[in-house]
Structure 1
Amino acid sequence: MALVALLSARDGARDHADGDRAGSLIEFGGQPLVGYQARLAVAAGAERVLIHVDEVTPELSRLVDQIGGPRAPEVALFQDMTILARSLAPEDRVLLIAENIVLPPDTLASLLVAGPAAVLALPAVPATSDLERIDGGAVWGGALCLPATRVLATIDMLGEWDLALTLLRRAVQDGIARVALSPEMVMEGRLALVHDQESADLALQALSDRSQADLSGRASGLGSLLAPVSRAMVRELVRRQIDPSLPVALSLLLASAGLALGLSGWMISALGVMLLALGTCDLARQAALVTLRVAGPPWRERLVHGAGLALLAVSGLHLSGGQPLMLAGAWLPVFLIGVLALADERAPPAGLWTRWARLTVPTATLIIFLGYLLGRPDGAFALLAALCALIVTIRLFPGVQKVA
């Protein structure tokens, strides 16, 4: 049994605001909106993605290539119901997402755990008037999940009717389970039925703001303090539809330049450039979370952070003057920071205290950078060692976290 996502990219998915009869697919975070829906479905567990189109265009073919791949779920376009019927097995589950609907990622997770057949629903209030009404007191939330047998039975009697709305009507008549959503999602703009590029940009902005608020709540101490700045920068990246892989590539170049400057002895410049590299890499990661796009292979981010640790090690080597005892004192906190970073990647801290007690590579780089600016890099390394000792103590003794 496979979960199959059923999407639509027909004429309604195109923006005709400029007077072009053909129009272009509505963009959402540097990708077509239907591409965002496909990534949303894949993140929810879809093993195949089927997209209903009027005609196969180069734009849609590129979209299939971008989403699909050797290790990615199968993505295919279809133009008629016969091809759709051949693509479904009776034991499959079908996740239907309405054309041009923008959904928060957690809504699909709630839908899929509600049972083999369920539909997203919101109360019929003025804020939800643009959504499809399903009865006197509720509107459709833009997605439903059905056994493939119901879809195949509907295809047999479909005729000229719209597939999505016909499936919705029949499911409601059969008493399908409803997953109730709050109308606040619509009021905030995170759940929206978009009709043109302008409304899509507004929905993307709303999703970005909410995602940044959630990330700041899970960030480390420094990340929480800098959340307002990063939120504004991520909002700008998302608004400009910038591919997250581009900032990651830039961060790799900056990290290489910073490490080269450090090896040449220009430590203040090196640490400043490295901070830019680490910040750029983190912004790309946050932008990718908003748009569900891939920021590149995970090793790129690890390589940037590894370059940051290497620069800290080079700084410690310069300060120690080659004396083994001083070198060990400088390198030990750097080693512990790397170990803590790996531990946090495998099991992210959950509690408020443990999140604030994290010592990340950007935080350590900032401490050493400030130490050089103040003329006390040795004191900065001493502070770094003390913080490492404190954090390791907290991690080793869970009782300290409970008391806090």
Structure 2
Amino acid sequence: MLAGLIFAIEEANDRPGTLVATLPFGGMTLLEYQIRLLVGAGAEQVLVAVGKMTPALLAAVNRAGRREVNVEIVRSAEEAAEKIADDSRVLVMADGLVTTDPVVDRMGHEGPEALLVTDDAGSPAAIERLDMRDSWAGVARISVAQLRQIAQMPEDYDFQSALLRVAAQSGAAHVPLTASWLRGGHAVEHSASGLAARNTGVLAALTERRVDWADRWVFTRIARKALPELVSRNVPAWGLIGGGGLLGLLSLSAIGFGWEGSGLVLSLLAAAVLATSGAMAALRGEERRAQGIEWALLALFGGVALGCGWIERVRLDTTTPLVLAIVALAAQFLVERAPSRHRRWWASPSAHLLLLTPFAFTGFVQFGLRAVAIYAFVTLAAAIEGTREKA
């Protein structure tokens, strides 16, 4: 079992009396964000080590406890060791740590004790020096036995520092902090201003989840600019989803009236809103919602393609455009379910919408449907071949 241990003891440098863990970050508190990362890595239990209780900390713990994970407050290593099962792996997060899913997922893997380290003592991720070369970078994987070792120390010990020393002396493996993790926003901050600066970087990293060319070059850029503003204004997730759904319905209505060009433009706007809402869902750890939004984008493309195919069928008195739309949708559905790793050039619902738009404006929708059908079919062939190579 994986358990999490988060330190929430230090006060913010620029806000005396306010714990760093309760500072706002990503539309929630830093503590809630850290718990979200642990839950995403598979933690079934999270302990929060505190020095003092504040109303803001208690409120954050109560909110985080609604994520189908057991969140408890502890004040010592002895208390923490008593609450965690003997065979558990304990993933530790330093006070004020800002990081991302790839870092936590990597450190949460099964294996012996490990410390995330950086060889740059001046790095914003460096907390405490371990030896002549490496400094601790804020994440550790330890055992319950090591927690019990710390519990035997005098009462005036520093919990976090003692834990680090015990792990280092036991020969814990050093996992280097990569440049990509550092660019993604990994750092330790003890000020509200520092967290605010990190907030934008982490939000930008979250928008990189979608790898295809259309999302990376178009929709991700839109989400990257919009997400920080939306989060800072506490825009609810349902507001974005509702807006994307409304734009999608308007798009289908326009296509139904024979205005394919206008309908495609509205569909692109709907895709941009839905992509942004997907990034927001990922930030808040709502993986089911994020996955649901991906399927909503496929449904949007399907509706647009079938609508255009039907209009062209009536206009040209041939079923070919409708058949092409069905083929494109069926092939893309199979691509979305393919277990092989998606490539940058592969088709996606948003890529199909971009490809179809210029054909709709020039009055050659039937050729656009042919293009997306071929694109989806070629991508499906690549996905099947990738699955065979993996097998």
TM over 0.5: yes
1:6 aligns with 2:5: yes
Q: Secondary structure at the match of 1:356?
A: coil
In the TM superposition, residue 234 of structure 1 has moved relative to its aligned partner by: 4.4
1:259 corresponds to which letter in structure 2? L
Secondary structure of 1:134's counterpart equals coil
**What secondary structure sits across from 2:289 in the alignment?**
coil
Which residue in the other structure is 1:270 paired with? 263
Tell me the distance in 2 between the aligned counterparts of 1:390 and 1:337: 10
Q: Is 2:327 the partner of 1:336?
A: yes
Amino acid at match of 1:5: G
Counterpart contact for 1:248–1:301, Cα < 8 Å: no
Alignment of 1:148-297 (within 5 A): 148-182=144-178, 188=183, 190-212=185-207, 215=209, 218-219=211-212, 221-226=213-218, 228-234=221-227, 236-237=229-230, 242=235, 244-289=237-282, 292=285, 294=287, 296=289
Deviation at 1:280, TM superposition (A): 1.2
Q: Could you tell me how far apart the structure 2 residues matched to 1:395 and 1:294 are?
A: 24
Cα deviation for residue 42 of structure 1 reads 2.0
Q: State how far apart, in whole Å, the 2-side matches of 1:200 and 1:148 are.
A: 31
**CA, structure 1 residues 82+255, in 2 after alignment: closer, same or farther (shift >3 Å)?**
same
Call closer, same or farther: CA 1:31–1:5 in 2, change over 3 Å.
same
CA distance in 2, matches of 1:114, 1:258: 48
Amino acid at match of 2:49: H
Match of 2:301 among 296, 308, 313: 308
Aligned to 1:381: 369
User: What is the identity, as a one-letter code, of the residue corresponding to 2:350?
Assistant: P
Q: Output the CA distance in 1 between the equivalents of 2:178 and 2:315.
A: 63
Q: Which amino acid aligns with 1:207?
A: V
Distance 1:21 1:52, change over 3 A: closer
Q: Could you list the per-position Cα deviations for residues 131-161 of structure 1 after superposition, in whole angstroms to 9, with x for gaps in the alignment?
A: 2122333211112122112212322435132
Rounded to whole Å, the distance in 2 between the matches of 1:74 and 1:47 is 7
C-alpha change, 1:348 and 1:288, in structure 2 (3 Å) is farther
- Does residue 346 of structure 2 align to residue 370 of structure 1? no
Structure 2: distance between partners of 1:345 and 1:91 = 37
2:34 aligns with 37
Contact 2:21 2:96 in 1 (8 A): no
Once residues 37 and 29 of structure 2 are traced to their aligned partners in structure 1, the CA distance between those partners, rounded to angstroms, is: 13
Contact 2:324 2:373 in 1 (8 A): yes
2-structure distance, mates of 1:176, 1:18? 35
| CA-CA distance at 1:5 after TM superposition | 0.3
Q: Tell me by how many angstroms 1:35 deviates.
A: 1.6
Task: Sort the Cα spacing of 1:19 and 1:370 in 2 relative to 1 into closer, same or farther, 3 A.
Answer: same
C-alpha spacing 1:172/1:66, structure 2 compared with 1 (3 Å)? closer
- Matched AA of 1:256: L
Q: Deviation per CA, 1:215-255: give whole Å up to 9, x if none.
A: 47x31x33344254554344555666655554233212322
3-state DSSP of counterpart to 2:27: coil
- Per-residue Cα deviation, 1:187-241 (whole angstroms, up to 9, x for no partner): x4722110122211222333344455x547x31x333442545543445556666
Structure 1 residue 3, shift from structure 2 partner: 1.4
Is the CA contact (8 Å cut-off) linking 1:28 and 1:291 kept in structure 2?
no
* Structure 1 pair 158–183 and aligned structure 2 pair: CA distance change class (3 A): farther
List per-residue Cα deviations over 1:102-155 (Å, max 9, x = no partner). 224333344344733121222253335952122333211112122112212322
Residue equivalent to 2:119: 123
Residue identity matched to 2:214: L
Conserved? CA contact 2:30–2:96, under 8 Å? yes
Unaligned runs of 5+ in 2: none
Say what the alpha-carbon RMSD is for the aligned residues: 3.6
Distance (whole Å) between structure 2 residues aligned to residue 154 and residue 19 of structure 1: 29
Unaligned runs of 5+ in 1: none
- What CA distance in whole angstroms lies between the structure 2 residues aligned with 1:110 and 1:372? 45
SS at match of 1:4: strand
- In structure 2, how many angstroms separate the alpha carbons of the residues matched to 1:252 and 1:104? 29
Percent identity between the two aligned chains = 20
